[in-house]
A and B are shown apart, each in its own frame.
Chain A
Amino acid sequence: MSALAHYLETDGLATTLISLIRENSDKIRPPRALWVPFELGRPLGVPNDPAFQRRVLTAALDLLSAEAGPITVDFPEEATDRHGDPAWSPPAVAEAGNSAAALTAEVAAVAALHPDAVNARNRTVVGLTEVGLTEIGDFFAAFLNGEKPASPRTDMRLSDFVKAAMEDLKSAYGEIASAGAGRPSSTQIADWFWGGTAAGRVLLDLHVRWADGDDKRLKIVAQNFMIPRTQRHRLE
């Protein structure tokens, strides 16, 4: 982002940047940067808190009026929701184990709850695959059964579909997890998905199979784009 700011400013556009990693922007020295102490993935700080987000955005915009630069300013507030909500409890969909049957039953339960979550927000970020949740569950279950299914999308190679399907699956679980009472933190939702659901256990299992397997593209996905660093202890 800092380098993009440099390129755009070179071409005559004034830029202001929200910086999540101060050390990187300090190296690149973009014209104007607002460093924020927020979690990666949350540049405006707190979801569904427009007042907080507004303070972040206006602080970044105010830098456009600075008289000289490069300039980096620290945003003075911490995100208010980083410690999670002890009252939150996950939706009652989780199946035990990591079998194909557990996965398909659990995904069916998620798919049944998902429309309410979508309607409540009038929005979903599920849809990278353009394939239904049940079909995605069946797709991963086939690998557990020793099969190697073809990509359900003829215009997406298998490894690309696998990556998109994982994101769609995690998004559906995340959307139902945050749709009810309570304001779970990202850590609460991630710990539930990777440690408390059949889907999380299945992906951990498939990670091992693909990382050790002979499909080079699935190996790359498994090794680099599958299990978050914060959840890799579950592989040990």
Chain B
Amino acid sequence: MARLSDIVEPMRTRIAELDCPTFDTEPWVTGPPLNERRIAMVSSAGLLRRGDKGFRAGADDYREIGDDVADRDILMSHISVNYDRTGFQQDLNLVLPRQLMHRLAEEGTIGSVASAHYAFMGATDPREMEPSAHELANKLKADNVDSVVLIPV
């Protein structure tokens, strides 16, 4: 369904003509083998902890979701109504696969799971998020994270 041809108009044209940032550089970070990496997840689903302040249109900040926060205390406050939320209602792992990440760590496929994951609200122009992204990078490195899986909705 996320083939552009499957998305209804006028959303299809809006997505196709989205003003995406382009960059002059192509950063490429190498690292240890996968089974030695410490991995965090960054979502653009507007996820937050129950009781956190919700995201508004134009939000360029992020919310922290501790790896030990209970599934039942993770909500979604994305402003868009043009994507499915019923899958998330049924299964948190569809959007933030914490159980899977821990299973992969227990099996030795990855090194370890970060102590926290993070969520932006993806309807905002990502250029506005750049300062928050650099701040987040410092937080992740302070947690000894070396690799990040980015997961949209």
A contact residues vs B (CB 8 Å cutoff): 1-24, 27-31, 36-48, 50, 53-54, 57-58, 60-62, 64-65, 68-70, 79, 82, 121-125, 127-128, 130, 156, 160, 163-164, 167, 170-171, 174-175, 177-178, 184, 186, 189-190, 220, 224-230
**Using Cβ atoms and an 8 Å threshold, which residues of chain B touch A44?**
93-95, 97, 151
B130 interface residue (CB < 8 Å to A): yes
**Using Cβ atoms and an 8 Å threshold, which residues of chain A touch B137?**
7-8, 11-13
Q: Please name 10 further chain A to chain B contacts, defined as beta carbons within 8 Å, in addition to the given A13-B29, A41-B95, A186-B87, sorted by A numbering.
A: A7-B133, A11-B141, A13-B145, A38-B2, A39-B1, A40-B84, A44-B151, A53-B94, A61-B104, A160-B54
Q: Contacts A8-B137, A121-B90, A178-B90 given: A130-B150 contact, CB under 8 Å?
A: no
Number of interface residues of B (CB under 8 A): 87
State A124–B101 Cα separation when bound (angstroms): 22
**Using Cβ atoms and an 8 Å threshold, which residues of chain A touch B149?**
15-18, 57, 60-61
B contact residues vs A (CB 8 Å cutoff): 1-4, 7-11, 15-16, 18, 20-23, 25-31, 33-34, 37, 39, 42, 44, 50-51, 54, 56-57, 71-72, 74-77, 79-95, 97, 99-101, 103-104, 109-110, 120, 122, 126-127, 129-130, 133-134, 136-138, 140-141, 145-153
Partner of B77 from the list A4, A79, A128 (CB cut-off 8 Å) is A128
**Using Cβ atoms and an 8 Å threshold, which residues of chain A touch B150?**
1, 4-5, 8, 15-18, 30
